[in-house]
Amino acid sequence: MAHKFEIKKNKAGEFVAYFKYNSETIFWTEGYASKASAKNAIESIKKNGPAAETEDNSDQ
């Protein structure tokens, strides 16, 4: 599978969810105190992401 989410701990001991494509990190979440919160962030991205608008502010 080319796309995947991966949860890892950062240096501060927080759980971070990474979205990867072909092993390259595309984006990551903030750090969370619990793994459950990181999993909730992933579920929120999956649920709300497909309908998200694209805002182009590159002309500003």
The rounded percent of the chain whose pLDDT value lies above 70 is 97
29-53: per-residue pLDDT in tens?
Answer: 999 999 999 999 999 999 999 899 9
Q: Name the token pair of 7.
A: 């949860």
Which residues 6+ apart lie within 8 Å of 8 measured at CB?
15, 16, 18
Average pLDDT, the chain: 94
What's the pLDDT score for residue 2?
87
What's the pLDDT score for residue 19?
97
Is the CATH code 3.40.190.10 the one for domain 3-49? no
Residue spans per domain, the chain: 3-49
What's the pLDDT score for residue 14?
98
H/E stretch holding 17: strand 15-21
What's the pLDDT score for residue 60?
66
